[in-house]
Amino acid sequence: MSELKKDIISIADLLTIESLTIPDYQRPYKWTLKNVVQLFHDIDMHISKTSYRLGTVVFHYDEEKNQRNIVDGQQRTLTLLLAVWAIIEKRLSKIDRGLLKEQIQRLSSPVEQLLNDQTFSSDISKANLRANFLEIKRIVGRPDFTEAHIDFLLNKCQVVIFTLQNVSEAFQFFDSQNARGKDLSPHDLLKAYHLREFGIPEQHLKAQSVAGWESLKSKTLEKLFADYLYRIRRWANGERALYFGKNQVDVFKGVNLYMGDAFPYTTSLKIAHHYTDEFNQQYQRKVDGQYQKYPFGLDQPIVNGRRFFEMIAHYQKQIEALISNEYESSDAFLGVQLSDNAQKILQTLNSAALYKNKRRTGDIYIRELFDCALVFYWDKFGVTDLSRAIEKLFIWAYSLRIQRQVLQLSSVDKYVVEESNVFKLISQAIHPSQLMALRLPMLNDELNRNNSGKNRGNKNQSAVSAKVYDPLVILFEGMGYYE
What are 52-110's pLDDT values in tens digits?
999 888 887 877 778 888 878 888 999 999 999 999 999 999 999 999 999 999 999 99
Q: Rounded to an integer, what distance in angstroms lies between the CA atom of residue 414 and that of residue 417?
A: 5
479 CB-contact burial (10 Å; exposed 0-12 / middle 13-18 / buried 19+): middle
179 CB-contact burial (10 Å; exposed 0-12 / middle 13-18 / buried 19+): exposed
Cβ 308 vs Cβ 252: under 8 Å: yes
The string of pLDDT tens digits covering residues 186-234 is 998 898 888 888 888 888 888 888 888 888 888 999 999 999 999 999 9
Contacts of residue 334, defined as CB under 8 A and 6 or more positions apart, other chains included, come to 321, 322, 325, 378, 383, 386
Contacts of residue 201, defined as CB under 8 A and 6 or more positions apart, other chains included, come to 258
Cβ 233 vs Cβ 299: under 8 Å: yes
Secondary structure class of 69 (helix, strand, coil) = strand
As averages over each run of 10 residues, the pLDDT of the chain (483 residues) reads 73 89 73 92 90 87 81 88 94 92 93 86 88 95 94 94 68 50 73 86 85 86 96 97 92 90 90 94 91 94 95 93 79 86 93 90 95 96 95 97 92 96 97 96 90 45 53 94 93
Q: pTM above the 0.85 mark?
A: no
Q: Rounded to an integer, what distance in angstroms lies between the CA atom of residue 106 and that of residue 103?
A: 5
Q: Rounded to an integer, what distance in angstroms lies between the CA atom of residue 86 and that of residue 135?
A: 10
Q: How many C-beta atoms lie closer than 10 Å to residue 190's C-beta?
A: 24
Cα distances (angstroms) measured from residue 368 to each of 239, 358, 362: 17, 11, 10
Sheet of 52-62, strand order = 5-10, 157-164, 52-62, 67-72, 20-21
Contacts of residue 232, defined as CB under 8 A and 6 or more positions apart, other chains included, come to 298, 299, 372, 375, 376, 423
Bridge partners of residue 332, in order along the sequence: 337
